[in-house]
Amino acid sequence: MSEKTKVGQIRTEVHGHVFKIIIDNVAKKNSFSPQMMAQMSDAMTLLDRTDDYWVGVLCAEGPDFTAGLDMPKFFGPKAENTDIKPGNIDAFALKSRCRKPIVTAVQGICFTIGIEMMLAGDIVVAADDARFCQMESKRGIAPLGGAHFRYLTRAGWGDAMYHLFLCDEFNAARAHKIGLVQEVVAPGQQIARAMEIANLIAKNAPIGIQVTKEAALKYIEAGEAAAIDYIPKIKDRVFSSEDMKEGIQSFVERRSAVFRGK
């Protein structure tokens, strides 16, 4: 394994008209560093702006999709800062969205931003061993990558609030039942099935597919815009709280957090 792979990276491959984006930080359960977030944005931008890439597949090496953010690298005294290039596609489809269809393949742990990335795409194939959890509020923060409204789009109010409030872990069968996942396959088959779906999509007229996605988004974009505009207020409230400090400290110390609502 190269030194570059050891520190985590986003790799890409081209398979005809399918552009494959691979999360590769297996040693840390594919958790994201700030550098990986920037690389993901670069890859999404390349997919969006390369005419010969008609469909994207987002997947991950190893037994897990992603454990989420590498928290100490984003919050606290050792936090790192890597800026996303101006005008780039946002991996969470908050500031800008990829025009091309994206099929995401997930397996094992798929926590926090992993769910938000897959919901920023279009179709999700999950291995039967996939485990989902939107646990930010267990760490004293809140979902900031779109979960607060994309759960609603996919699952409806009751099921969305059930999992956003409980911050519980649920399996692939549950994710499929409430619409977060479109297909469940045997572990190890998720990437092959996602590639198969992507190639089926790529047999259709790319412009027709792209305008279909664009037109469909018109139905929900006003509501999404309002929810996205509210994210800075969410950040201000949780980032200035004592509970956030406690949540991060409890993560570093590997203990349960004790929140005070302050």
How many C-beta neighbours within 10 Å does residue 83 have?
9
Higher-pLDDT residue of 98, 239: 98
Q: For the CA atoms of the chain, what is the radius of gyration? A: 18
pLDDT at residue 3, as a whole number = 43
Rounded Cα distance between 133 and 139, Å, is 12
The structure's pTM equals: 0.87
How high does pLDDT run on average in the chain?
92
Please count the other Cβ atoms lying within 10 Å of the Cβ belonging to residue 79: 11
State residue 73's pLDDT score.
86
If we measure between CA atoms, which residue out of 94, 93, 95, 124 comes closest to residue 110? Answer: 124
Residue 233: the pLDDT is 82
What percent of the chain clears pLDDT 90, i.e. is strictly above it? 71
Residue 170's contacts (CB-CB under 8 Å, 6 or more residues apart) are 131, 132, 133, 163
Summarised one tens digit per residue, pLDDT across range 162-189 is 999 999 999 999 999 999 999 999 999 9
The pLDDT assigned to 5 comes to: 44
Model pLDDT, residue 2 = 45
**Cα–Cα distances in angstroms (integers) from residue 232 to residues 37, 67, 86, 244, 246, in the given order:** 19, 24, 19, 16, 21
Question: Are the C-beta atoms of 194 and 124 separated by less than 8 Å?
Answer: no
Q: Report the candidate in 114, 66, 65 with the shortest Cα–Cα distance to residue 91.
A: 114
DSSP 194: H
Structure tokens at 177: 């039942």
Strand partners, 170: 132
Q: What is the pLDDT of residue 249?
A: 80
Spatial neighbors of 28 by CB under 8 A, at least 6 apart, are: 8, 67, 70
Over range 206-218, report the average pLDDT.
Answer: 95
Residue entry with tokens 């279009």: 122
Per the CB < 8 A criterion, the answer to whether 136 and 199 are in contact is: no
